[in-house]
Amino acid sequence: MNLRRIERRIPVADTCFPETLHPLLQRIYAARHIHDSMDLDNTLATLHDFRALRNVDAAVALLTDCLERQKRILIIGDFDADGATSSALAVRALRNLGAQQVGYLVPNRFEYGYGLTPEIVSLAKARVPDLIITVDNGISSHAGVAAARAAGIRVLVTDHHLPGAELPAADAILNPNLPDDEFPSKCLAGVGVVFYLLLALRARLRDDRWFAVRGIPEPNLAEFLDIVALGTVADLVPLDHNNRVLVAQGLARLRAGRGTAGIHALLDVGRRDASRLTAADLGFAVAPRLNAAGRLTDMSLGIECLLADEPGRAREFAARLDEINQERRHIEARMQDEALRELDRLGFNANDPALPFGLCLFEEKWHQGVVGLVASRIKDQVHRPVIAFARADGTTLKGSARSVKGVHVRDVLEAVATQHPGLIIKFGGHAMAAGLTLAADGFELFANAFDAEVRRWLSSDDLAGVMHTDGELTAEYLTLACAGLLREAGPWGQGFPEPSFDGVFRLLERRLLGGGHLKLVLAEPGTGLRLDAIAFNQSGEHLPPDCGQVRIVYRPDVNEYRGTKRLQLLIDYIEAI
């Protein structure tokens, strides 16, 4: 990592925590602008009311009509983990609510592209749906919505992406980011929007005595919160209080051994202990395996894994997803190496003032399903927005953008599209990630325009690599008990970062493990307390042989091996002193 400085989070002063809350947690929560214990209450009673969502009554009316007349409902989702979880949640819950004709269709990204396109509507017609529900997409699908309605198919759009200046002419649109929508949380993932729609639908059916009249058991929608938690974490939406509740409740179900067979199977192949599950386990072990299907083949495989009820069948799907993910990792590693070599060929490094502020990369043989991961990795290397492009066909490129704090990348793309009409064929996304389609012969013009627009958002000082920490930990907090306390104090994630600390330690021992990880023994300088530490995917080559002291950014962790628990520091950054 190319790092220039470490910045410590500044706790807010006006906090009101109970005296029983551990002092370390008070400090950490205050640094995340948590003011009192109400913001730490992760019970379901604290969720925002679905009635605040604009158009929720119209959306529910469409669904109740379909249920009363048993019309055909077709779910059309995105091909990422949020789309897969949204699709699986909608299918599972609607069936539990009494819908007898519910299916799903997920676009193959290589044939149909993103969203409800006219092409996917033509494919959907074979299912003869009465209602199409888009999940995690649709807010920019003007042509697809028009094609569906022209075919006599009603359309309910559920999405969380930012809308454009005009909305598609759907029968109803549910999106907390609509203009004038009063829902307090604008951070719901696509799966969160679907969950709220289902809460509203169940309330309407209950009022209509739907369950009592038909003898249908009223479903407990909390049973699906493991799916909601997975999609929320996977989509990297900010974990505001409402999303933390959704994730915390989903994690609790999985830790208790409940939840979807497919998620448990994915945890097993990822070698994660469900009883000790954290949000990071969903993000790093489950989500990549689910996403791999949409990146390389067909996300239907991931959705079927989440729909599987029989554990053996779920394990079969999970094993196949694990194989695809291994292939994805090989492709990604090759593409990342090629991207770094391209930077070297151009004579750039992360600290080079000539490096574009907004960086665009293209390689003829790159895989369009993996360019987003490459953009993310290179963004971490060069500390600026990056768009990686792959060839879609003979005349067009598909790009995936990843951004940094301070640059709303979708707004950047909108500005470029306004300044250069026709340059971008289509685009969509949100603050930190976006996708676009571009004419191949417009790449150079776009790259220059993107760089120019990003320069309006960033100064050269903003491009320094910065790591934010919660300061130093004294020896009294470098304990197994405190590591466990921090582990349980989340859920941590985007916008609510896992606690990390910085400090100077004496370096007593170091060795390189077989997997390319650096194993260390450190000593706290004041007390001499010996501490085990590990830096994953770091060789330590930059540390001189006679290095006696190091400055590290780290996270205390509980390392459990053969039934024994020990404190271990997970090192995110290390430099010699």
CA distances from 422 to 60, 117, 278 (A): 38, 19, 45
- Report the pLDDT averaged over residues 479-491: 95
User: How far, in Å, CA of 78 to CA of 108, rounded?
Assistant: 9
* Six-digit token string for 373: 């991961």
Write down the CATH number for the domain with range 47-322: 3.90.1640.30
Average pLDDT over residues 181-203: 97
Whole-model pTM: value is 0.87
What is the per-residue pLDDT for 380?
Answer: 83
Q: How far apart are CA 473 and CA 500, in angstroms?
A: 10
The answer to whether the peptide bond before residue 288 is cis (omega within 30 degrees of 0) is no
**How far apart are alpha carbons 348 and 96 in whole angstroms?**
56
Task: Give the pLDDT of residue 475.
Answer: 94
Task: Report d(CA 307, CA 88) in Å as an integer.
Answer: 6
pLDDT band at 348 (very low <50, low <70, confident <90, very high): low
Residue labelled with tokens 């500044």: 10
110 pLDDT band (50/70/90 cuts)? low
What are the start and end residues of each CATH 3.10.310.30 domain in the chain? 346-463
How many angstroms separate the CA atoms of 168 and 144, rounded?
9
Percent of the chain with pLDDT over 90: 73
Tell whether the model's pLDDT for residue 174 goes beyond 90.
Answer: yes
435 beta partners: 400, 428
Flag whether pLDDT at 151 surpasses 90: yes
* Domain 346-463: CATH architecture, name and number where available: Roll (3.10)
Task: Express each pLDDT in 81-91 by its tens digit.
Answer: 999 999 999 99
Task: List the single range of 134-148, 241-255, 297-311, 421-435 with lowest mean pLDDT.
Answer: 421-435
Condensed to tens digits (0 to 9), the pLDDT of residues 24-49 reads 999 999 999 999 999 999 999 999 99
Nearest to 116 by CA among 89, 136, 129, 134: 134
Q: Residue 130 has which token pair?
A: 């009465």
CATH 3.90.1640.30 segments of the chain: 47-322
Mapped onto helix, strand or coil, the DSSP state of residue 566 is strand
397, 440 Cβ separation under 8 angstroms? yes
Give the pLDDT score at 85.
Answer: 98
**98/382: higher pLDDT:** 98
Say if residue 3's pLDDT is above 80: no
Residue 406 pLDDT grade (very low, low, confident, very high; cuts 50, 70, 90): confident
Per-residue pLDDT, 341:
77
Report how far residue 338's alpha carbon sits from residue 198's, in angstroms, rounded to the nearest whole number. 45
In the chain, where does the domain assigned CATH 2.40.50.460 lie? Answer: 467-576
CATH architecture observed for domain 467-576: Beta Barrel (2.40)
User: What average pLDDT does range 216-223 have in this prediction?
Assistant: 95
* 1 confidence band (pLDDT: 50, 70, 90): very low
Residue 122 has pLDDT above 90, yes or no: yes
Q: What's the average model confidence in pLDDT over 477-487?
A: 96
